[in-house]
Amino acid sequence: MARLLMKQIRGQLTWCSSSLRFRVASATSWNALVSTQIRELYLSRTIKHFSTSVESEKLCWEGSSYEILLKKLEAALKCHDVDEAWVSFSDFRKLHGFPEDSSLVHRLITELSYSSESYWLRKACSLVLLISKEKSGLLKGDVLTKLSLSLARSQLPNPATVILRLMLEKDMLPSMNILWLVFLHLVKTEIGTHLASNFLAQLCGEFVKLRANKGKHAELMKPDTMMFNLVLDACVRFKMAFKGQQIMELMAQTGVIGDAHSISIIAQIHEMNGQRDELKKYKVHVDRVLSKFVCHYRQYYDSLLSLHFKFNDIDAVAELVGHICRYKECVPIHKDKILEKIFLVPIGSHNLKDGLKMQIQPELLQKDTVLKVESRQELILFRNNGKLVFSYRALSKLIKEFKTAGRVSELSKLLLEIQKEHCSLRSSDLCSNVINACIRLGWLELAHDILDDMESSNDAIGVSTYISLLTAYFNRKMLREAKALLKQMRIATGTPMSLSDKMVVTESLSNMLENASSNSIGKTDLYHSLIQEVKDENEKRIPSMVFELNSSIYYFCKAKMIEDAMRTYRRMQEMNIQPTEETFANLVCGYSSMEMYRDITILWGDMKRSMEFGNLSISRDLYEYLLINFLKGGYFERVMEIIDYMKKHNMFTDKAMYKTEFLKLHKNLYKNLKSSEARTDAQRNRLRYVLAFRKWAEID
């Protein structure tokens, strides 16, 4: 059998030698060639399929190895045998390179894309990258689209983004509908959201460049509202406030129109960044939408109310609460054509000539949306009857803040208005519930003041409310207050009762009232919300002054008034007010917009000192923004320092993006310079960090 096999191999090689024009000079070279060809044939694994019969062996060996391997590859693909197809393709490429028939390569990539195993999906990605380097003409847009979608669906965001970036580079991007689906899967994870937002930024950059050059296909590359909404919503879910701010500004830069969902998501991003002035700019447009859109703007009012509390602006809180209570009176009944218009909302000051402006259409909702906005319901809730109502948490914050400010009369008026307009969960007896909760907390003076205000407004008060407060006075031996309340109760209810009579009644009802207090009053949701609010007050909170100063710094940086921004920053330090991440993010953005990279390195020193003392925590997105700016400025020691910080905190790094930025700006920097050839210590030191970055980013 072995002799027969050798004889067939020699005959086959003789035929191949004439077609390939081999020139055999000697018997020695011939034997070497025979040995090589035998080894190659064994590698191709064609022998394993031979039949034991001589007839089948003759049939298998008819034709060249080129044809045999191609037939094996076609057969494996036809049978959907991924393992065999990959082996056949690998063997073929080792011997002959890529097949001339590109459809085979496309079918192989597609077959791998349909696999549910991440191993084969990664193989497909590696194959595409190999083809892009060696024979990019084989790449086909629809094949890459299937692969990117499969990778994203299998939660392999890094390879999926690699394919998307390759498609962008080769001008093979699919339609926006397909990109929606890829993004929908990418943004399910935090790392996927980082990559999706970075790719979106890259896509916007290419679009802006094409638009500036008046490129024919610019509009085809323009991202749409849905794509921005998917990424912005993910930024909110993963608390990526700074990244969300950047994506918002990209939306304005590219001229994409924000819809009702966009405004709701943008409200949450402004809330996370403490940008109340920015959020207030949308109110005039949101207030005018038709009542059927109210459910979409619940989150907007929730975020705005939250910021009013953070800024400790009691007047603004009272105004907004009153507005929500009277919401239906303010909403237009008939459709106004002006509501269909596109409005411009400035980012930063209204007076900036070159400032960015967000385009919004408040009553626009995307058709066939793939986005499901799951907004937080913390302060304001929406009911099926079309009403916006205040949660127990909102009422608790309202009570605590007005109590702290000593503005009880205004609090009572607001509570009565909320009760009258049915804007709470248990609106019919809201004021009584508030009084009972205050009694349970020991806030007897506040409870009595609210009760007085209710009487003054001729609002009905149940006898049980008087008895609850009276019992609390007797339990605390506050007889003078109890006597005054008895007199008040006699006048209000028309029931004649003396102090001694009341003492008897109180004594006889004591146990019953105590049980009622513990079971029905003390365990109400409002009571528990008030307890939680008091606990939160005792915890370390950001002072309202910080939000105000950060707003000033943000305004100055957007106006490129960097000196004023730095004066405000120095003022914070003089006042012993600890700057927050938002403070530094605003300053870094301000310097970056003016390409003042050296000043960012100085600011980075302040940030490191704050972190060393435990006063500051920096998000992954701000680290990345610093890294990009140091790359632009050529500060490679700082670049590697940021990378080390990110490694230390196990933060994801988008190497492909940093690599692209480096090659765009510093492609040939110190490429052929050796350390021994450096002229100065500074150059030698810089060379060391450049080489370290090249190695880390896998550039060489």
DSSP 326-385: THHHHS-SS--GGGGS-EEEESS-TT-TT--EEEE-TT---TT---------SSEEE-TT
Please give the pLDDT value at position 538.
72
Distance CA 613, CA 27 (A): 80
Q: 81-128 pLDDT, tens per residue?
A: 999 999 999 999 999 899 988 999 999 999 999 999 999 999 999 999
Report residue 28's pLDDT band, with 50, 70 and 90 as the boundaries: very low
Please give the pLDDT value at position 353.
77
- Residue 207's SS3 state is helix
Instruction: Give the range with max mean pLDDT: 12-16, 89-93, 372-376, 623-627.
Output: 623-627
Beta bridge partners of 359: 257, 344
In this structure, what token pair is assigned to residue 378?
Answer: 């913390």
Q: Which helix (H) or strand (E) holds 388?
A: strand 388-390
Please give the pLDDT value at position 370.
65
Distance CA 462, CA 466 (A): 7
Q: 65-75 pLDDT, tens per residue?
A: 888 889 999 99
Please give the pLDDT value at position 683.
79
Report residue 496's pLDDT band, with 50, 70 and 90 as the boundaries: low
Q: Over 149-195, what HEC string results?
A: HHHHHCCCHHHHHHHHHHHHHCCCCCCHHHHHHHHHHHCCCHHHHHH
In percent, the amount of the chain with pLDDT more than 70 equals 83
Please give the pLDDT value at position 546.
96
In this structure, what token pair is assigned to residue 449?
Answer: 């003041």
- Residue 257's SS3 state is strand
Q: How far does the chain reach from its first CA to its final CA, in angstroms?
A: 51
Full-model pTM:
0.86
| Residue count of the chain | 700
Distance CA 186, CA 154 (A): 9
567, 535 contact by CB (below 8 A): no
- Residue 312's SS3 state is coil
Residue 362 pLDDT exceeds 90:
yes
> Which has the closest alpha carbon to 284: 358, 362, 349, 341?
362
Distance CA 374, CA 474 (A): 49
Please give the pLDDT value at position 339.
54
Residue 177 pLDDT exceeds 70:
yes
In this structure, what token pair is assigned to residue 292?
Answer: 């059927």
Q: 391-450 pLDDT, tens per residue?
A: 999 999 999 999 999 999 999 999 999 998 888 876 678 999 999 999 999 999 999 999
Q: 398 CB contacts (<8 Å, ≥6 apart)?
A: 317, 321, 390, 411, 414
36, 61 contact by CB (below 8 A): no
Q: 116-166 pLDDT, tens per residue?
A: 999 999 999 999 999 999 998 899 999 999 999 999 999 999 999 999 999
**Domain regions of the chain by residue span:** 63-174, 402-422+429-494+524-538, 619-697
247, 200 contact by CB (below 8 A): yes
Residue 517 pLDDT exceeds 70:
no
Please give the pLDDT value at position 587.
98
C-alpha angle 14/16/18, rounded to 5°?
75
Q: 457-469 pLDDT, tens per residue?
A: 888 788 888 889 9
The torsion angles phi and psi of 346, rounded to 5 degrees, stand at -70, 145
347, 252 contact by CB (below 8 A): yes
Q: Which helix (H) or strand (E) holds 204?
A: helix 190-212
Please give the pLDDT value at position 329.
57
- Residue 486's SS3 state is helix
In this structure, what token pair is assigned to residue 416?
Answer: 């009565």
Residue 21 pLDDT exceeds 60:
no
- Phi-psi domain of 62 (left: phi exceeds 0; alpha: psi -120 through 50; beta: other): beta
Average pLDDT on 616-634 reads 96
Mean pLDDT (the chain) is 85
Distance CA 497, CA 474 (A): 16
Please give the pLDDT value at position 433.
92
Report residue 375's pLDDT band, with 50, 70 and 90 as the boundaries: low
Average pLDDT on 481-503 reads 72
Average pLDDT on 635-643 reads 96
Out of 1.10.10, 3.30.70, 1.25.40, 2.60.40, the CATH code matching 63-174 is 1.25.40
> Which has the closest alpha carbon to 230: 275, 294, 181?
181
Distance CA 684, CA 675 (A): 6
The torsion angles phi and psi of 575, rounded to 5 degrees, stand at -85, 5
Q: 182-210 pLDDT, tens per residue?
A: 999 999 999 999 999 999 999 999 999 99
Question: b vs e for 238-270, b when ≥16 Cβ sit within 10 Å of the residue's Cβ?
Answer: bebbbbbbbbbbbbbbbebbbbbbbbbbbbbbb
302, 310 contact by CB (below 8 A): no
Residue 58 pLDDT exceeds 90:
no
Our CA dihedral for 233, 234, 240, 241, rounded to 10 degrees, sits at 0
113, 104 contact by CB (below 8 A): no
